[in-house]
Every structure is written in C-alpha cells, then in structure tokens.
Structure 1
C-alpha cells in the first residue's frame, strides 16, 4: 500500500522557490518523492535551486514568473500544461514583504500598498486560475497558500502586507467552496517571521518579539513549515480544505 503522506508521482508547482521558504518547501516536496516545478522572478537563483534538486536525485525544472505581470503568469501556466498536462499540487508561496516594522498607516505610500496587493493578492489568484484546470485533471489537486500570522494578530506598522495576507486567507475560504466540487482541496498556512535571506532587513526587535512570544520560544526557520505543507499536498488532506493552520510554534493560536 502506498504511504498517503508521500508525494511520489505527484507534480508540484512551488512559486517563489528560488530561495528561503520556497526553496525549503521545494526540497521537502522533492524528499517526499514529488516532481518539482520551481517558479520565481529570480531566474538565476531559481535555475540554481532546480539544478540542486536534480543533483539530489529529484526531477525538477525552473520556470520564470513575475506575479505582478498577468502575461508572465499565463506563460508559466501554458508551459506547465505543454510539458506536464496535469498538476497535482500548487504552493502559492511567492510574495513581497517590505516595510516590516516600517511606516505607520498614514505614511504608507500608495505605491507600496498597490504593489503588495498586485503581487500577493492578485498574483495568488492569477496563479491559481492558471493552474486550476490542470489540478482538476489530476483527480486529486491540492493547493496550499502561504499566508502569515500577521493577518491573525494584526501586526502594526505593516498594513499593506498584513492586509494582503488577510485577503489570501479569505480567498482560501472562498476558493474552497468553488474548487471543492472539482475535487481540489485548498488550505492556508500562517507562519510567523522566519530567519532566512528574505527577512534579513527585518529589525532585530521584531524578530525578538516573535522568538520570545512563542509557546516554543526561539527562531522559526523555513524548514519548520515544510513538513506541514508536504502533508497538505497529499490526497489525504482534503478534509482540511478551507482551513488556516497557524504554523508558528504557538505565537498565535487558532
């Protein structure tokens, strides 16, 4: 009998997989037996990630994508359809998170707000739309949206990002209703700030706020959420559709 918690034979797309959280997710999926499509706007780093996965024995390819550009998202979807035909899993990980611990709501620029919404919200919807047919064709499609626990506790001085991730949580619930009849399950994970390349600019005081406030104190790293995401991509995770899992070592409880 096949182990229901492996991804053997399943084709998984991970956006924002060139580094940090996305790369850790891609590596965990590869270790569980998946074939990977690595997508990112950072082409050189994305190619390097795909090459590293192949060197480790996984099947992996890189596709460039800019979530802020609808045509770029469409091209990525068309390339996957032409090469694979079906898709078993999608991890909507790509996002931008600028200004953590930065401007207050009344000094936040319209450009920063619009960019967060364009990439984090519209981009997540566009990728999901581009992949939905292939996920349905697989017969057991699964989507995991990487949100943030900032949307659960209302992080201050981070309004654009927090609002965008709150929208992703609402999108997950709404899509669960629409995608369920198509056999597609969708869930969201809400991690806290992690120690990785993408958060090197975050003020140390904000890192300490999280690390000292968790039920299990200490830093959170990308690998901490990867195992949960691997499970959510398995056929057996369908019963969790529409749910948000705060995978944050107890900083916020659901």
Structure 2
C-alpha cells in the first residue's frame, strides 16, 4: 500500500484512539500527510507522537464536534496548511449510548448523540469542502455502522445517527459531485476497540459467531476499505456504502 496516497493531505476525525487512530496510521503509511483531529487532546498528542516515531508526517488539531465554533476554528487552522485531498468522518459518540430500549431512552441522550454524530459530521464536512474543492478527485469517507443495516436493539440513538450518515453520504455525493468530490461510506461491524469495551459479551458473541467469516473484528480489518475509497483507485466511485463486517450482514 506504500505510496497509494503519496503527496496527499488527509484529515481524520476521532483519531486519538480506536478506529480513527488505526485509519490515521494506515493513511500515513500509505504516504499521506495526516491531520489527526479529536476532542481528547492528550490522547491525540500521544497517538501523534507514536506515529511520528514511525517516520510519518502528522499534524494535530483539537476539535469538538458538539461545538460549531470549535469546528470552524479547527478548520481555519487546518486551512493555514493548505488544501486537503481527503476527509475521514470517523468521530462519533458511541460509549455509553447503548443498553436502553426505545421506551427508556431520554431526550437529552438522544439529542447529544444526534448533535455529535449527525450535526457534527455535517458541519465538519461543510467546513472541509472549500479545502477539498482545491484538489482534483478529493474524497470524503464517512464512517457509518452496520448496526444501521440490521437494526441493533437497545442502541436506537446510535443506530439512527448512523442511518443518517448513510443517507447524508448519498445526498452529499449528489451535491459535491459537480466539484469533483467523491463521497462514500464504510459501515464497520462491532470492532474490538476502546469504545466497545462497554458492549456486553453476548453482543460480541452474536457478531463473532454470526459472521460469514467468523471471529473478532479489529481495526486493521477496516483500514483497506478506507484507503481504497481515499485513493485514485476510487476516482469514479461515489454515493456508495461498503459494509466491512466479515459478512454479519450483506448489502
């Protein structure tokens, strides 16, 4: 994969840990200069330092997807470094949003998930478009979830937010296509990362036994799909959803 993204500058949100950190590392190893963004300032710096030790180019930017002013400020700072060729909308609120039925959900939690996962993704994309439009064949990759494909129970706000990401991807692809920007989504299955440590063992077991390719899913299993959609190999691919879940659900 080395050189697949050479000479490109790519922004990854939610990059301090988990899938986002894995995406950032894979993108950097493919030759891109990565802008790692996250609300977790210290973890962000620690992850960036780890990648720099591997000899790759990394920038960092603290961002809070719940705050429009934070998003504006972050992209004003990113713009000082020039155009970008790609954006991975990975940041989302996932920890602590499951376990309740639709009858038990409270409005504050619902609104918080929508504020970060849906509105935040829209605002980040909106802020990124002027920088993406400066690069031919720029790419946006939205990270959805296969929970929106099979309707995972006791997780309704998260499922609804990821369903919105899938729909937004298609609408964004139509709107941004005339500017030469491709917009696609990847829907990972339940992945073994920090954010899923709270998930009950039986839910992990359901996935691991129910996949066509049985077993646990790890961040490295998703990297290749994200790299492909960011790369010149996908210059004529837009508005698509790619589930990456070992065949737990088919699309």
What is the TM-score with the length of structure 2 in the denominator?
A: 0.97
1:207 aligns with 2:204: yes
> Corresponding residue for 1:72?
70
Deviation (angstroms), 1:236? 2.6
Structure 1 residue runs of 5 or longer lacking an equivalent are none
Q: What is the distance in 1 between the residues matched to 2:104 and 2:242?
A: 32
Match 2:235 to one of 235, 238, 241: 238
1:49 aligns with 2:56: no
Q: What is the distance in 2 between the residues matched to 1:48 and 1:72?
A: 21
Deviation (angstroms), 1:88? 0.3
> Corresponding residue for 2:223?
226
Contact 1:4–1:236 (CA under 8 A) maintained in structure 2: no
Q: What is the distance in 2 between the residues matched to 1:99 and 1:44?
A: 21
Q: What is the distance in 1 between the residues matched to 2:196 and 2:166?
A: 22
Q: Which runs of 4+ in 1 moved over 3 A?
A: 98-101
Stretch deviating more after TM superposition (203-212 or 230-239): 230-239
> Corresponding residue for 1:93?
90
Alignment of 1:170-185 (within 5 A): 170-185=167-182
Q: What is the distance in 2 between the residues matched to 1:146 and 1:78?
A: 23
1:119 aligns with 2:109: no
Q: Secondary structure at the match of 1:138?
A: coil
Q: Greater RCO between the two (CA within 8 Å, min separation 6)?
A: 1
1:160 aligns with 2:157: yes
> Deviations for 1:151-198, whole angstroms, at most 9, x for unmatched residues?
011111110000000000000000000000000001000011111111
> Deviations for 1:91-128, whole angstroms, at most 9, x for unmatched residues?
00000114465010011011110011000000000000
Stretch deviating more after TM superposition (167-176 or 3-12): 3-12
Deviation (angstroms), 1:239? 2.3
> Deviations for 1:53-106, whole angstroms, at most 9, x for unmatched residues?
1111111011000000000000111011112x2000100000011446501001
Q: What is the distance in 1 between the residues matched to 2:180 and 2:166?
A: 20
What is the TM-score with the length of structure 1 in the denominator?
A: 0.96
1:133 aligns with 2:139: no
Structure 2 residue runs of 5 or longer lacking an equivalent are none
Q: What is the distance in 2 between the residues matched to 1:236 and 1:181?
A: 19
> Deviations for 1:38-60, whole angstroms, at most 9, x for unmatched residues?
00000001011111111111110
Stretch deviating more after TM superposition (92-101 or 172-181): 92-101
Q: What is the distance in 1 between the residues matched to 2:110 and 2:87?
A: 26
